[in-house]
Each structure stands twice: as C-alpha cells, then as structure tokens.
Amino acid sequence: MSVLAHIGRGIEKKLITAILRSGGGKPLVAALAELPGVLSVSHHHARGVGSRRVRSHQMLFDEKDVLIVLVEAERADDIFRRIYDEAGIGEPSIGMMFMEPVLRGHPMMPCEDADW
C-alpha cells in the first residue's frame, strides 16, 4: 500500500491548525514529524495588519507561524493536547488552534530533484 492510499478515504482524519508566534512552528514540525498518528505536518510564515495602531496613520504588523497537521482521528485529541502544551497556547497572546474533520488528504513531500 502506498502512502497516498493510507491517507485516502479508508481512514478517518482530522486537520489541526495552530497559529503561533513567529518562530514557534519549526520546532513543532521537528517534534511532530515522527509521532505515531501524524500523517503530514507543515508550517509556513504569515504576516498581516493588526487592528491596533502604533501612532496615527501607522499600523502594527503581526508576524505568525501557521502549523498544519493532518492526523488520524483516533489520535487527534492526544496530538492536539501535545501541540497545545508544547506551544504554550494557554498563555496570553501566544496563539490559537483548532481542529476539524477532513475527508481526504495528501502528504506534503519534499521534491528531491528540485533545483530552486
């Protein structure tokens, strides 16, 4: 059976998304990569305009890391709790996370032959 068949329709999955402080995603990717029940894990950097103003006509730009983890549904609550604890989500202004069911997903794999 291929990896894609394993992640196909035959298994219940959930997607965990965590929005963290800048720099908080990469260590979690390394910690979660080999964890049982994790089917795919990735993170990317995001930046946007906050609602607060520093001075008149000056906006505050927030930088965040977005962690995306595709997991087996039966292990989802344990993995969610681990991310919550390791990222310190319970502390003020650290970030937020949510979980949702998904029907089908595909792993993100590095392209070994890419020359970019």
DSSP 47-104: EEEEEEEEETTEEEEEEEEEEEEEEEGGGHHHHHHHHHHHHTTTSTTSEEEEEEEES-
Confidence of residue 80 (pLDDT cuts 50, 70, 90): very high
Q: Distance between CA 116 and CA 112 in Å, rounded?
A: 10
- Residue 34 belongs to domain spanning: 3-102
Residue 22 or residue 8, greater confidence: 22
Q: Distance between CA 77 and CA 82 in Å, rounded?
A: 9
- Is 94 part of a structural domain of the chain? yes
Can you give the pTM of this predicted structure? 0.77
What pLDDT sits at residue 40?
87
Confidence of residue 39 (pLDDT cuts 50, 70, 90): confident
Residue 24 or residue 3, greater confidence: 24
CATH at residue 37 = 3.30.70.120
The residue-averaged pLDDT of 85-108 equals 84
- Is 67 part of a structural domain of the chain? yes
Q: Quick one: which of 7, 11, 13 has its CA closest to 73? A: 13
Domain count, the chain: 1
Where does residue 71 rank: exposed (0-12), middle (13-18), buried (19+ CB within 10 A)? buried
